[in-house]
């Protein structure tokens, strides 16, 4: 059942050749063999002890009443910072939250349950969604240890939705949910050879998800194909009374995102290639050239050398916004839990007391910098937030698309995976293209585009607010032409051409 799509699973369950219980047992066996033994990928933090029972109920419901949705009976893994009101923890990979059981499902979890999905378990992540240290190792948490890349296991899985991406790529689940503040869905997806969708801010509810920053945080679907990611997206979107931003997004939500899967979607469409995201690695450039050739073959009009005048001009302001909002948002989240830590300050103090377990490799300077910030009424925060929005939106993506009469931008999602280094932390090779879409809150879809020495490279499709229908079409058309996804081989410490 490796590489089986959600559609194929549904077809076999409809015919009676497969059941949700059989599918779940298959994934449980693979997790035991590959994730916890074998190559020890460490992508799964915890398994849902009720998953098999839930699958049995859904199989019975299928037989008696039919299916609820395309996700009926499909096993889904959730990133470890997403609340589930069941027997599983929600700890963001932090020992400070070890044992925390949420009192209420996150809104997106309620949506998944209503759609008939089976919550299989929680995935490992970069602790606190990679907002703890400037020397952190992507995919490492004090609860789950180091997650590894399934293509070459001494390579980074990128963060922070590391476990979700690795589990999908390694065929340990059908699909998974990640979260992103800046790059945390698209980078792990690209580096682990899968599809990741970072939706427009507010299209997916943020309530019940351990936060970094409300002006950029969103959950997003991850799958081995565009179709699978889109199928999951349908069950995540919706109006949530506990998250006001979803109110303004109600009119943009599509009932059926699968209708936009069009293999001819690129025909006659003007796509821009911005400057500044290539030239850091000649083989990544080759992957991009091949990707562009596929798009041209499908009738896309490629506009090269698009100038982004605001690129790199709001880095400091984005960081300020994240620091301020992390303190505010995390304190709000923790104050409503029954855990032993009730504030960011108490998390910092816990880590100091348990430093041998919580900080064996890197420190918590980002937590400390955030704690030093004041309220969100401070002028420094408000000024930084305003600048971020203007430079990423009005003078950024919106201006570029309008000025050049473009429907979307494309860029390599990033470079090849680097070696895991717990002592010095991550060392990105360059080319990351997530910032503009992350800061603006606009959508970004990454799709497998090729390989560099056996390591996956993804291409990002970036558009204006609520342009998911268009981007889904472009991403699908490219995927159907390039067919670049390859199943990982779990190689140990070697690269190939």
Report the C-alpha gap between 495 and 497 in whole angstroms. Answer: 7
Q: Residue range 12-25: average pLDDT?
A: 98
Q: Across the strands, what pairs with 141?
A: 145
Report the C-alpha gap between 180 and 446 in whole angstroms. Answer: 13
CB 431 within 8 A of CB 164: no
Tokens linked to 483:
């067919």
ω into 160 cis (within 30 of 0): yes
Tens digits of per-residue pLDDT, 182-223? Answer: 999 999 999 999 999 999 999 999 999 999 999 999 999 999
Helices and strands (H and E) in the chain: how many? 18, 13
Would you state the pLDDT for residue 40?
87
Would you state the pLDDT for residue 479?
98
Report the C-alpha gap between 450 and 457 in whole angstroms. Answer: 5
Would you state the pLDDT for residue 497?
42
Q: Which CATH superfamily is domain 6-482 in?
A: Amidase signature (AS) domain (3.90.1300.10)
Q: Is 267 a catalytic residue?
A: no
Percent above pLDDT 70 for the chain: 99
Would you state the pLDDT for residue 494?
63
Marked catalytic residue, from 20, 39, 43, 79: 79
Q: Which residue has the tokens 């996956």?
A: 456
Tens digits of per-residue pLDDT, 350-364? Answer: 999 999 999 999 999
Taking 50 as the threshold, does the pLDDT of residue 464 lie above it? Answer: yes
Report the C-alpha gap between 359 and 120 in whole angstroms. Answer: 29
Marked catalytic residue, from 141, 169, 184, 467: 184
Q: Is 184 a catalytic residue?
A: yes
Percent above pLDDT 90 for the chain: 96
Of the two residues 429 and 393, the one the predictor is more confident about is 393
Phi-psi region of 312 (alpha: psi -120 to 50; beta: other; left: phi over 0): left
Q: Going by C-beta distance under 8 Å and a sequence separation of 6 or more, which residues neighbour residue 9?
A: 18, 23, 73, 74, 174
Report the C-alpha gap between 115 and 58 in whole angstroms. Answer: 11
> In whole numbers, what is the pLDDT of the chain averaged over residues?
97
Marked catalytic residue, from 110, 138, 156, 160: 160
Would you state the pLDDT for residue 36?
82
Report the C-alpha gap between 259 and 53 in whole angstroms. Answer: 33
Q: Is 156 a catalytic residue?
A: no
Report the C-alpha gap between 422 and 293 in whole angstroms. Answer: 39
Q: pTM of the entire structure?
A: 0.98
Taking 70 as the threshold, does the pLDDT of residue 257 lie above it? Answer: yes
Taking 50 as the threshold, does the pLDDT of residue 91 lie above it? Answer: yes
Would you state the pLDDT for residue 131?
98
CB 144 within 8 A of CB 79: no
Q: Residue range 2-14: average pLDDT?
A: 98
């Amino acid at each position: 059942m490796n590489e089986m799509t959600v559609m194929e699973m549904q077809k076999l369950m409809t015919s009676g050749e497969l059941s949700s219980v059989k599918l779940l047992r298959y994934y449980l066996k693979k997790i035991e063999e590959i994730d916890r033994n074998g190559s020890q990928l460490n992508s799964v933090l915890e398994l849902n002890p009720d998953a098999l029972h839930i699958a049995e109920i859904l199989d019975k419901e299928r037989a008696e009443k039919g299916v609820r949705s395309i996700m009926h009976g499909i096993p889904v893994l959730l990133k470890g910072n997403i609340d589930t009101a069941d027997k599983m923890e929600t700890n963001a990979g932090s020992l400070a939250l070890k044992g925390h059981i949420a009192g209420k499902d996150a809104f997106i979890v309620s949506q998944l349950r209503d759609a008939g999905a089976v919550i299989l378990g929680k995935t490992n992540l970069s602790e606190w969604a990679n907002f703890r240290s400037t020397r952190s190792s992507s995919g490492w948490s004090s609860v789950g240890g180091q997650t590894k890349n399934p293509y070459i296991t001494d390579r980074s899985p990128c963060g922070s939705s590391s476990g979700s991406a690795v589990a999908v790529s390694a065929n340990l689940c059908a699909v998974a949910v990640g979260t992103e503040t800046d790059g945390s869905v698209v980078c792990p997806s690209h580096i682990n050879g899968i599809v990741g969708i970072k939706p427009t801010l507010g299209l997916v509810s943020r309530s019940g998800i351990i936060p970094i920053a409300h002006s950029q945080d969103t959950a997003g679907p991850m799958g081995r194909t565009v179709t699978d990611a889109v199928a999951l997206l349908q069950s995540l979107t919706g109006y949530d009374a506990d998250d006001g931003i979803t109110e303004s997004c109600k009119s943009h939500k599509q009932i059926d995102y699968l209708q936009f899967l069009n293999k001819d979607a690129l025909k006659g469409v003007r796509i821009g290639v911005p400057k500044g995201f290539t030239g850091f690695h000649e083989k990544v450039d080759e992957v991009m050239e091949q990707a562009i050739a596929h798009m041209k073959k499908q009738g896309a009009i490629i506009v090269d050398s698009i100038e982004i005048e605001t690129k790199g001009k709001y880095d400091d302001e984005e960081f300020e916004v994240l620091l301020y909002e992390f303190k505010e948002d995390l304190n709000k989240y923790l104050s409503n839990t029954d855990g032993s830590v009730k504030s960011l300050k108490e998390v910092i103090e816990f880590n100091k007391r348990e430093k041998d377990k919580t900080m064996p490799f890197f420190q918590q300077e980002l937590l400390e910098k955030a704690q030093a910030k004041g309220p969100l009424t401070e002028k420094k925060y408000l000024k930084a937030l305003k600048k971020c929005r203007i430079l990423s939106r009005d003078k950024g993506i919106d201006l570029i698309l309008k000025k050049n009469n473009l429907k979307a931008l494309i860029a390599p999602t990033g470079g090849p995976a680097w070696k895991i280094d717990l002592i010095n932390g991550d060392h990105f090779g360059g080319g990351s293209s997530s910032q503009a879409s992350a800061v603006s809150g606009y959508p970004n879809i990454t799709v497998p585009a090729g390989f560099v020495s056996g390591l996956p490279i993804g291409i990002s499709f970036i558009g204006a607010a609520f342009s998911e229908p268009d981007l889904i079409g472009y991403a699908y058309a490219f995927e159907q032409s390039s067919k670049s996804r390859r199943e990982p081989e779990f190689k140990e410490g070697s690269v190939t051409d």
